[in-house]
Amino acid sequence: MSIVARSPADRVIVVGAGVAGLATALQLAPRPVTLITAAPLGAGTATGWAQGGIAAAMGADDAPSLHADDTLAAGAGLTEPDVALRVAEAGPGLIDWLVGLGTGFDREPDGALALGLEAAHSRRRIVRARGDSTGRTVLDALVRAVQATPSIETLVAGLHGLMQDADGRARGVVCERDGVAFRLPARAVVLATGGVGALYASTTNPRGALGRGLLAAARAGAALRDLEFVQFHPTAIAAGRDPMPLATEALRGEGARLIDESGEPVMAGIEGGDLAPRDVVARGIFQALGRGRTVYLDTRGRLGARMSRRFPTVAALCAEAGIDPAVQPIPVRPAAHYHMGGILVDAAGRSTVPGLWACGEVASTGLHGANRLASNSLLEALAFAPRIAESVGEASPLASVDRPARLPQIRSEDAAVLSEIRGLMEHGVGVVRDAASLSRAVDRLAELSERGSDAAATGLLIARAALARRESRGAHWRSDHPGQLPARHSVVTPATTEAPRALQELTDA
Residue 153 bridge partners (DSSP) = 34
Its sign, for the CA torsion 232, 387, 186, 39, is positive
Residue 184 bridge partners (DSSP) = 173
Gap between the Cα atoms of 54 and 95, Å rounded: 8
Gap between the Cα atoms of 186 and 159, Å rounded: 14
Q: Reduced to 3 states, what is the DSSP secondary structure of residue 176?
A: strand
CB contact at 8 A, 432 and 283: yes
Of 12, 10, 9, give the one whose Cα is nearest residue 24. 12
Asked about 451 being catalytic, the answer comes back as: no
Strands 152-156 and 158-164 come out as unpaired
292: left (phi over 0), alpha (psi -120 to 50) or beta: left
Task: Look up residue 121 and give its amino acid.
Answer: H
CB contact at 8 A, 298 and 307: no
CB contact at 8 A, 354 and 347: no
In terms of C-beta distances under 8 Å and separation of at least 24 residues, what long-range contacts does 64-69 make, across chains too? 64/88, 64/89, 64/91, 64/92, 66/122, 66/123, 67/91, 67/123, 67/125, 69/122
DSSP 8-state code for residue 50: -
Residues in the chain: 509
CB contact at 8 A, 421 and 442: no
Gap between the Cα atoms of 202 and 434, Å rounded: 19
Strands 33-37 and 12-15 come out as parallel
Strands 180-185 and 170-177 come out as antiparallel
Say which of 169, 278, 300, 444 is annotated catalytic: 278
Task: Look up residue 354 and give its amino acid.
Answer: P
Report H helices in 415-489.
Answer: 415-428, 435-450, 454-468
Strands 152-156 and 356-358 come out as unpaired
CB contact at 8 A, 208 and 44: yes
Gap between the Cα atoms of 72 and 306, Å rounded: 34
Task: Look up residue 306 and give its amino acid.
Answer: R
Of 493, 463, 456, give the one whose Cα is nearest residue 219. 493
DSSP 8-state code for residue 163: E
Task: Look up residue 163 and give its amino acid.
Answer: M
Which residues belong to the active site? 278
